[in-house]
Structure 1
C-alpha cells in the first residue's frame, strides 16, 4: 500500500518541471535581450550611415565640388573618402565591431548618388549559453543630390509705356492726387516738359519699371549667392527699346557670368520714351517680334549638366497685352493696330528648342471708366492671364497685381528655376 501511495504522489512535479524548463526560459529571455541590443546597435550604425551618405553630398562638400567639375558621368573618389570619414566620425559610442564598409559616390547626369553599406558583429551575453557568441548586423544608406544646372538666363523686360504705372497702392494714390486727370501712369512724353514721368520722379513715386529694374538687379545677387562653380549662372538683359523711335528687341547687357557687370548695365533699364501720347498709335509692344528675334540668340537649350551643355531660360516680365501693327489679329483690328493677348505660338517655338520660359505677369490694370479700355481691351481681358500662363513652362508662372511684390515674385521664380538641391536618404 505504501508503494502504491508513493507512486500516486504528484506533489514534487512542479519543482522537477521548473528545473527542466528553466534553462530554455532563461535562454529565450536572454535571446530577446541580445536581439534588442543588436537592433539598437544597428539603429545607431544606420544613423551614422545616413549622416555619412547625406553629408558626402552636402552643398559645400568636396564630393559635390569635384562632381560638378567633372566633364561627364563617373565615380567621385573624393566623395567616397569623405563619406567613409563621416561614417567613422558619427559612430560615437557604438559597441558593435564593424567588419566591412563599402562606399560609392557616382555622378549620373545631374544626379549625384551615394551609397554606404556596412556589416558588423555584436557580442552576445545570454545567447552564449546556446553557443552563439555574436550576432551579425548590416545595412545600407543611400542619398541622391540633384545638382544645380549650368543655366543661361535671358531677361526680357517689358519697359513699354504701360510699365509706367505707379507700383504700389500708395504710389497710385499719390499720382492720382497730383494729376488733374487723376492718372496713375507716369507717361514719359519727351515733348511735354511737364510730363507725368518727371512728376513721378519729383514725388518719389516708384513705377513698375523701377521695381522690375531693381528686382532684376537683385537676381544678380541671388545668382552669385547660389552659384557653386564659376560661370554656373550667366545672364543677359533685354528690353523693348529705349525710345518709341527705336522700339524693338534691345540688348541692355550681353550674356555674362560677371553679375556685377550685368547689375551695372541694368541701371540703364527705364521706361520707354515717346514724344507724345498716341505716337505711332502707341503700337510699341511687339511680343511676336521680340520672341522671334530672341529665338536665334538663345538657340537650343541643353541639359545643364556642364558648362558646354547649358540650360537656356527666358525670364519674361510683361503685362501680357500685345499692341503693334499686325495684318491678322485674334481681336478686332483698329486699322492695322492689333491689341490682343500674347500669341503663345511664339512661346511654343522657343520651348520646342528646349528653352524653358519663366513668366512673371504684371497684371494688366483694368480701366472700367476709360472708353478705350472698354472698347479694345475688355473684350479679351479675361484671356490675358491664361495666355501668359500658357506661354510659361509648366510651374514657371507668377502673377502679381499692382499692389503685390514684383521683386519677391521674381526672386521666388528665379529660385524655382534653379531648383535648389534635393537630398533623399
Structure 2
C-alpha cells in the first residue's frame, strides 16, 4: 500500500499537463478559507478562556470577605458587574460588549450567598467575515458560594462541682496524694471537724507541709500572736507549741492555719497555696484565653460576638456571673474575661451536715453535679430559636452553648442518686436545645479513677462502672463533631480554643 502511494506521488510530480494546475487552483480557495476559519475559531477559544476567568473573578467579588458584610443584594450584583465590566473592557477581539447576567441567591439562609455570573459575547472574525460571518458566538458561566461569619452569642456553662478540684497534672496529683492522702482538693466550711475523721491530713501547718507564705502583717487572735500570710487574710499562729490556743494542736493534728474568719483552711486552700493547677483554676485561664481568641475572630470577621458566663454544681447553686448583653455592649467579652476570676469551687456545707450542698439542703447530701439542672437553666436563658447571625433586618445572632464538665452525673433524680454518665433523659434535654437551632459544644475534662480513689467503696464502684459511658453519652448530647476531650497533663485552654475554632468552622469561604 505504501509503495503504491509513493508511486502515485511520483507520477503526479512528473505530470506536465495543465489539468493538475487547474485542480490545484480550484482547491486553493477553500483551503485558505478553512485555514482562516480555524484561526478565527482559535481566537474565539482564547477569548472565551479570558472571559471565563473574568466571570470567575466577578462571581468571587460578590462573596469576598468585605462583601459578605453587605446585606443588600443590589450592591452585591453591582460589585460583580463592575468587576466583569472593568476587566473585560478593552479586550481585543470582542464584537460588542458582553451581555452579563448576575443572580444572587441565599441557598442556606441569610448568612449564605451564591453569586452566579452568566455572559454571552461574540468573537470578531478576520477571515470568515468575507463570507458575512462577522463573529463567532461564545458564552460561559461561573458561580461562587460563601457562608459569612455569623454574629454569635456564646452561652458558657462551667462545672464547679467538687470533682473539678482534681489536679490537672500528674505532678499535682502526686503532691496532693503524698502530702494530704487525697488526690483532689476538698473545699469545706468546717474542715476542722472533717479533718479529725474522714480526712485526717487535710489541716496543715507551715512547717510540715512547706506552706508558701508572705508577711501581710501581724494580728492577735484570742490573745495569741499570728502572722497574716496571704492577701485573703489567712493567718498562722507564730508558735504552735507555746502561747497558742488549744485548738492549734487539737487531737494531735496540725491546726495552725486559719482563714480570716477563723475557720480552718482546707486542702483547696493548700492546693492554691502550692500553685497546684486544678480543673476549676484551669477553667479561669481557659475562659480568659477564649475571650481573647473570640475578640480576634470578631475583629477579623467584622462580626459581633457576645457571651454570658455561668457556673453549676448542685441544683440549688446555679450561678450567673455575666448575663448576655444587648447587641450594643461592645465591652462584653472583656467583662467575661474579667469575671473568670470569680469561677470558684463549690464549698461543701459541713456545718449543716457532712457533705451537704451550700444551702444546707437535707436529703440530698453529696449530690453535686446536676446535669439536669444546668440544661434546664441554660435552656431557659437561651433564645427559643437561634437566629442565623446575619445583618438582615429582624435576624438575631446565632446561639451556641459551651458546656465544660467531667460528665459524671451526681444528683438526685427519681429513685435517688444517679452517680452515672449522663442519663438518656438529659440527652433528650440536649436534643431539645439543638432542635431550637442552638449548637451545643462540650469540653469533656476526662473523668478518671483518680477522681474517686478516696470515695466510699460502694460509690467508687458505681462511678468506676460509669466511666466508660461518659464520653459516648456526652457525644450524643453535643452537636455533631463538637465534643472535645482534654486529658491529664493537657492544656484546658488549648482544648477550649480548639473546640471554639471547630464550632466556628461555618465561618468560611468556599468556591
Q: Name the CA distance, whole Å, in 1 between partners of 2:157 and 2:410.
A: 16
> Would you say the 8 A contact 1:322–1:341 is kept in 2?
yes
Aligned-residue CA RMSD (Å): 3.2
Report the count of equivalent residues: 396
Unpaired runs of at least 5, structure 1: 1-8, 68-74, 329-335
Greater displacement, 249-258 / 218-227: 218-227
Match of 2:433 among 334, 342, 350: 350
Indicate the residue corresponding to 1:266 in structure 2: 340
Aligned to 1:289: 373
Which secondary structure state, in structure 1, belongs to the residue aligned with residue 481 of structure 2? coil
Post-superposition CA distance 1:122-157 (Å, at most 9, x none):
223343454433223222222222233343221111
- Length-normalised TM-score, structure 1: 0.81
1:304 paired residue number: 388
Distance 2:498 2:110 in 1: 26
Give the direction of change, closer, same or farther, for the CA distance of 1:408–1:47 in structure 2 (3 Å limit): farther
CA contact (8 A) 2:308 2:324 kept: yes
Residue 136 of structure 1 corresponds to which residue in structure 2? 137
- Residues 20-67 of structure 1 deviation map (CA, whole Å, 9 limit, x = unaligned): 333333333333332222222212221122122112221223xx3231
* Whole-angstrom distance in 1 between the partners of 2:460 and 2:302: 51
Q: Is the 8 A contact 1:120 1:136 kept in 2?
A: yes
Question: For the residues of structure 2 that align with 1:236 and 1:321, how far apart are their CA atoms?
Answer: 24
For each residue in 1:302-351, what CA deviation from the matched residue of structure 2 results, as whole angstroms up to 9, or x when unmatched? 342556444332211111101123332xxxxxxx4320111223323333
Distance 1:396 1:36, change over 3 A: same
1:79 CA drift (Å):
1.8
Deviation at 1:301, TM superposition (A): 1.9
Q: Does 2:376 correspond to 1:376?
A: no
TM-score (norm 2): 0.68
Q: Describe the superposition over 1:219-242 as per-residue Cα deviations: whole angstroms up to 9, x where unpaired.
A: 32333333379883321111016x
**How far has the Cα of 1:85 moved from its partner?**
2.7
Whole-Å Cα distance in 2 between the matches of residues 40 and 184 of structure 1? 74
Contact map agreement 1:358 1:392 (CA 8 A) in 2:
yes
Residues 448, 467 of structure 2: 8 Å contact kept: no
Contact 1:113 1:142 (C-alpha < 8 Å) held by counterparts: yes
Q: Which has the larger radius of gyration?
A: 2
Aligned partners of 1:51 and 1:90 also within 8 Å: no
Q: Distance in 2 between matches of 1:52 and 1:387?
A: 47
**Distance in 1 between residues matched to 2:341 and 2:318, nearest whole Å:** 17
Quote the Cα distance in structure 1 between the aligned partners of 2:28 and 2:186.
98
Correspondence for 1:421:
507
SS of match in other structure, 1:260: helix
Aligned residue for 2:495? 409
